[in-house]
Structure formats: C-alpha cells, structure tokens
Amino acid sequence: MSCHFDEVLKERGLGYDTVIEDPERFALASIAAGHARTHGQVIERAPDLPHDPAHGHVVGEKPGKIQRSCATGLIG
C-alpha cells in the first residue's frame, strides 16, 4: 500500500491534492504510522519520483482484520 509522509508534504509546502494523480479512481485517507505498526506493518520511505518526495510504502500482509482496522482507525 502506498503512503505519504505528512511532514515531508508540509516542509515542501505541498497540499494533499498533490498526491492523488487520478481522483476519479483513488482517494486519500489518514492513519497514524503507529497504528499500522501495531499490526505488524513496516512504514518505509520510497521517494522514487522527483515530483513525489513524500511517497512511501506500508509493507506487510493485510488480511481482512488489518484492512478493517486501518480503514476504521480502530485497534483490536
């Protein structure tokens, strides 16, 4: 799963609208990195495109329980 680092966006003066290339197909949600880590996910930076310095990945298996937890922001 892709992610974007809020602090990088802010330091570069970029808005959230800059991270979605096709808003007809994709949306943006916010979860705390600590929440994802609670479920065994690894957050890694991946600024592989010059126009996307805040890009990263959330790495790890995401069975239904983890997907639901990240979607709702609830742990358990």
Domain extent at residue 44 = 2-72
**C-alpha–C-alpha distance, residues 17 and 26, integer Å:** 11
Which residue would you say has higher pLDDT here, 54 or 75? 54
**Cβ pair 1, 46 in contact under 8 A:** no
Concatenating the DSSP letter of every residue in 20-40 gives: -S-TTT-------HHHHHHTT
Contact 62, 1 (CB under 8 A): yes
Strand ranges of the sheet holding 55-59, from the earlier edge strand across to the other edge: 2-4, 55-59, 42-45
Number of structural domains, the chain?
1
Q: For residue 51, what pLDDT is reported?
A: 82
pLDDT bin (cut points 50, 70, 90) of residue 76 is very low
Express each pLDDT in 16-65 by its tens digit: 888 888 889 988 888 888 888 988 999 999 988 888 899 999 999 888 88
